[in-house]
Amino acid sequence: MTELLASIEASPFSTWLRESPSVWAYPTVLTLHTLGLGVLVGANWMVDLRVLGFARAIPLGVLARAFPIMWAGFWLNAATGALLFVADPTKATTTIFMWKLAIIAVGVALILLLKSKAYGRGVEMDRATAGVKAIAALSLAAWIAAIATGRWMAYVA
Amino acid sequence: MTRAIVVYLKSTAISHAMSMSPFLWPICEMLHFIGLALLIGGAGLMDLRLMGAFKSIPVSAVMQVRKWAALGVAINVVTGTLFFVGAPDQYINNPAWYGKLLFLLVAMINVAVFETTQGKKMLNVAGGEDTPVSFKVAGAVSMGSWFLVLYFGRMLPFLGNAF
């Protein structure tokens, strides 16, 4: 495992991503990763907050269209996250990175759950059930934890 | 002048706390990114509706998410000020920081002008109705300038003196 990570780190692409003075290398990847975070979490939080009872004038059904926006943010960050991994694979051995990945998996599972529970019946209710509200509250918290662990990686690795 | 400001800020208790505590700076970074997501979520939805997307939501209804964008901005102005006071010399000569402040100003002026001149008109755009050109321009300027605030923020360590 360590050997594999070392060979990734020694590859020309990894070296370019990490050391190139070009703004198209590390800085652009990092900027897109931040943008993807904002789009994914921002769109998810707006739906979560609406489900929890804020901004009631917005019909819950319309917010089904926020889900493709979340997925766009997710895939942007899966791609840029993979590039950041290639640039600095030793970070992947830290415990905090494992926590971050696990928390993101929970956050993504909650998106799928929210979509199927709040929108799965064909007819959208304007008042969410207690169960759907619990999913939204967990989703809100999961992304706070994902952001916290992601930021923390900058200080431990 | 800038030297005097830097020296003064670094002598404050807040600056000492920010630079000496092992936790304060990372916690402010976490809050800064939480604020960023709230801002993109709230302002992004509002801007999209102003630009003509999500037409089935009345503009008066989508206006309710503005408070989440405002909360995000408030969190980030406070934490951003703490970063500046904590390490003023990392920002004061940093071109990326001035780019960030410039587009923050553009975003704020855009909101202020739009709300004061078009604020009442917003209440009249019902669900299913398209928005006038002035709304589309304001939404696009908002989205573009907030993206540039994020871009120059992320470029702080790369365009200027790294930290």
| pLDDT tens for each residue of B63-96 | 999 999 999 999 999 999 999 999 999 999 899 9
**Model-level pTM greater than 0.90?**
yes
| pLDDT tens for each residue of B130-146 | 999 999 999 999 999 99
Rounded to the nearest angstrom, the minimum Cα separation between A114 and chain B is 17
At A91 the pLDDT is: 85
Q: Could you tell me the two tokens for B143? A: 């989205």
Q: Name which residue leads in pLDDT, A125 or A32.
A: A32
Q: Could you tell me the two tokens for A10? A: 């020694």
Residue B159 neighbours by CB distance under 10 Å:
17
User: Chain B: residue nearest A60 by CA?
Assistant: B57
A21 phi and psi angles, rounded to 5 deg: -75, -5
| pLDDT tens for each residue of B3-33 | 899 999 999 999 999 999 999 999 999 999 9
Q: How far apart are CA A8 and CA A1, in angstroms?
A: 11
Residue B110 identity:
N
Q: Report DSSP state, residue A52.
A: T
What's the ipTM?
A: 0.93
CA angle B92, B96, B97 (to 5 degrees): 40
CA angle B79, B83, B85 (to 5 degrees): 110
Residue ranges covered by each domain of chain A: 2-156
Does the beta-carbon distance from A38 to B154 stay under 8 Å? Answer: no
Q: Which of B30, B39, B150 has the highest number of chain A CBs within 10 A, making it the mutation to test binding with A?
A: B30
At B157 the pLDDT is: 87
User: Chain B: residue nearest A65 by CA?
Assistant: B54
Does the beta-carbon distance from A31 to B26 stay under 8 Å? Answer: no
First to last CA, chain A: 18
Q: Which of A22, A26, A41 has the highest number of chain B CBs within 10 A, making it the mutation to test binding with B?
A: A41
Q: Could you tell me the two tokens for A90? A: 């030793």
What is the mean pLDDT of the segment spanning A90-96? Answer: 89
CB-closest option in B30, B62, B158 to A58: B62
At A124 the pLDDT is: 58
Q: Where are the alpha helices (DSSP H) in A52-129?
A: 66-87, 95-119
Taking CA atoms, B51 is separated from A35, B67, B149, B158, in Å, by 20, 19, 20, 33
**CB contact A59 to B (< 8 Å):** yes
Residue B99 neighbours by CB distance under 10 Å:
19
